[in-house]
Amino acid sequence: MTEHVPLDTKDLSAAVASPAIKLENVEKRFGDHVVLKQVSLTVDEGQVLALIGPSGAGKSTLLRCINLLERPTGGTITVDGVTVQADHKINARELAALRSRVGMVFQSFNLFPHMTALRNIALPQQRVLGRSKGEAEERAHTLLRRVGLADKALQYPGRCSGGQQQRIAIARALALDPKVMLFDEPTSALDPELGLEVLKVMRELADEGMTMAIVTHEMQFARDVSDHLVVMSDGGITEEGDPQEIFAAPQQQRTRDFLRAVLDRR
């Protein structure tokens, strides 16, 4: 008689879990100019994806397509189980559902200059999540401590360094409880020393299991912190895989040329 083995539903759910981000044949055109060419990739929950490549490769456009700041002209985008198809009209409900799952940090900080750090983080929670002012400000204080800026709650952005402003921007994105964080070259506008402050926070988020997709020129960060590396050029994926392996022995000549150029310049 065959022994009946109870089904472990926890293991089953883990086995069939959907990826946090899934892009299928994503295309973006501006008129006759093709910026993204049939890009497909997957980011699992808790994974850190680094996107590297030369300027104009389409990295930032791809990131902006994930949360529909740029509307793709082809393909399918899925974030935390919410799927939108470029060849269908994307309604307001679908847009809100997808964006509620995504936090984004840009090159520029985009903070309200007339509001304190505390209010920059609290106000979006009140408007988007419907939290009370007290709840939102309590969460804001918690996140300011989280990014090492507890003493800056009542400071205005103009009185903060670039690195501090970017950390406030990260706290603001985290305040909306996203499932996925997108970073578009978050240190490119900062001096190296200030950039290290931001990278430290991002390393900590990675260690805590936050799913992240990061466009970066910080090659050491891409190699040491990311779980999966994508090299882009001319609107497509040139190479992808384990970061350590790609940096040690890239398979494609285009990747070798790019890495040689950026690493020799340092």
Q: What is the pLDDT confidence band of residue 18, given thresholds at 50, 70 and 90?
A: confident
For strands 228-233 and 48-52, give the pairing: parallel
Tell me the average pLDDT across 144-172.
Answer: 96
Average pLDDT over residues 213-217: 95
Q: Cα–chain-centroid distance for residue 261?
A: 25
Sequence-distant (6+) residues with CB within 8 A of 138 are none
CA dihedral for 40, 43, 44, 50, sign (positive or negative):
positive
Given CA atoms 25, 69, 54, 202 in this order, what sign does their dihedral have? negative
Share of the chain above pLDDT 70, in %: 93
Measured distance between the N- and C-terminal CA atoms of the chain, rounded to whole angstroms: 68
In sequence order, the β-bridge partners of residue 230 are 51, 240
- Distance between CA 110 and CA 165 in Å, rounded? 9
Are 145 and 204 spatial neighbours (Cβ–Cβ below 8 Å)?
no
258 touches 265 (CB < 8 A): no
As a whole number, mean pLDDT of residues 99-125 equals 94
CA distances from 186 to 25, 64, 137, 171 (A): 26, 14, 25, 13
Q: List the CATH code of the domain at 43-101+181-266.
A: 3.40.50.300
Strands 228-233 and 74-79: unpaired
Per-residue model confidence (pLDDT) at position 266: 59
In the chain, CATH 3.40.50.300 sits at 43-101+181-266
* Residue 133 scores a pLDDT above 90: yes
Check residue 17 and give its pLDDT.
Answer: 59
Q: How confident is the model at residue 91 (pLDDT cuts 50, 70, 90)?
A: confident
Mean pLDDT estimate for the chain: 90
pTM for this predicted structure = 0.89
pLDDT class of 8 with cuts at 50, 70, 90: very low
Task: Render pLDDT for 38-77 as a digit per residue (tens, 0 to 9).
Answer: 999 999 999 999 999 999 999 999 999 999 999 999 999 9
User: Which of 49-63, 81-95, 192-206 shows the lowest per-residue confidence on average (mean pLDDT)?
Assistant: 81-95
- Check whether 2 has a pLDDT greater than 50: no
Q: Is the pLDDT of residue 11 over 70?
A: no
When mean pLDDT is compared across 12-21, 132-141, 221-230, the lowest value belongs to 12-21
pLDDT at 166: 95
